[in-house]
Amino acid sequence: MFYSLAIDPIVFSIGTLPVHWYGLILGLGALTGLFLCIQEGKRFNIPQEFFMDMLLLGLPSAIIGARLYFVAFKWEDYKDNLLDIFKVWNGGIAIYGALIGAIICGIIYFRYKGYPFWRIVDICAPGLLAGQMIGRWGNFINQEAYGGVVEESFLRDKLHLPDFIVNQMYIGDAFHHPTFLYESLWSLLGILLLMVLRRQKFVRAGEIFMSYFIWYSIGRFFIEALRTDSLAFDGSSGVAAFINGLWSPMKWMGFEQGYLDPAYGNIRISQLLALFIIIAAVALIIVRRVSGQPKDHYLDPIISTKQAAADAVVPESAANTPQKPVQPVEDPPEDKETKE
């Protein structure tokens, strides 16, 4: 059977500068996330310029963090070709690294603007999922982050995928799990869930952000094992067996783990990290609730401490300006003819 060629990763060129689908898709994901943040920010009277500046600072921070995270675990592939580290358009970024970079940037930026960290990241949580949902299609274009080998009938008859996805999943000499699609759809469900959750009166500051981490990490734990390009390390056989045991429900649904090169290790880093994040996020929600730390609810007003301080200060020039006495307004003279 004839299969169409893989999608060209270059959309067009401006002179000698190629424009890659990967970059355009990441940009679209970032703008979509920004739009969701701005729309929700209006509810709390936060100016859209705040979120636009946040994106201008956060996006480079996220890309740098994502690339450094990936390169750190793939150093053997880059140590002799250092220039390849900067070729982000060829793929090779890690979402957890992007989150680390974005959070560090956010802590600094929010403090500078006087906004409470937990309140702003709660607003940003659905936007983060939107960026990840769209960004995964960059992996689709680059034919990366795919899963193990499957039959063509699985993609067409069981998943009912359109031809352009099925054909793009023909990599090498076999069809593969479209793990990019699984994670994209999981993120879409997460967006809907967070949007419903944040309208509930019982939700407190920081819990939407923690729910984002829990939701994404659950999906990542199960989807990661389907992939064949996982970052991994050599760890305890007991830990590896424990992780595989937790993943076993996927086998009941007919899924098989993707091949993991023993040279990389026996424990997938993203799976182990996902478990840690789920446990840490749940524990943090419980501890904060028990200690009464999150006094604000999600629906409470958000006020910048710096803006509030600025509004409270009376300008010295205005305070020293002598006030003119108010002249009483006299009644207009009565018309003699009218009076008579």
220 is in an annotated binding site: no
**DSSP at 231:** -
| Bridge partners, residue 71, by sequence | none
- From 112, 126, 121, 127, select the one nearest 284 (Cα to Cα): 121
Is residue 85 within 8 A of residue 71, CB to CB? The reply is: yes
Dihedral pair phi/psi, residue 247, rounded to 5° = -85, -10
H or E stretch including 17? strand 17-20
Which residue has tokens 């000499």? 173
Which residue has tokens 């580290």? 85
Is residue 110 within 8 A of residue 116, CB to CB? The reply is: yes
Is residue 239 within 8 A of residue 331, CB to CB? The reply is: no
The residues near 38 (Cβ < 8 Å, ≥ 6 apart) are 48, 51, 52
Provide the CA 298 distance to its chain's centre, in angstroms: 19
In angstroms, rounded to a whole number, what is the distance separating the alpha carbons of residues 129 and 267?
A: 26
The residues near 3 (Cβ < 8 Å, ≥ 6 apart) are 167, 170
Instruction: At 307, list the tokens.
Output: 């803006």
> What totals of helices (H) and strands (E) does the chain contain, helices first?
15, 7
Binding-site members are 136
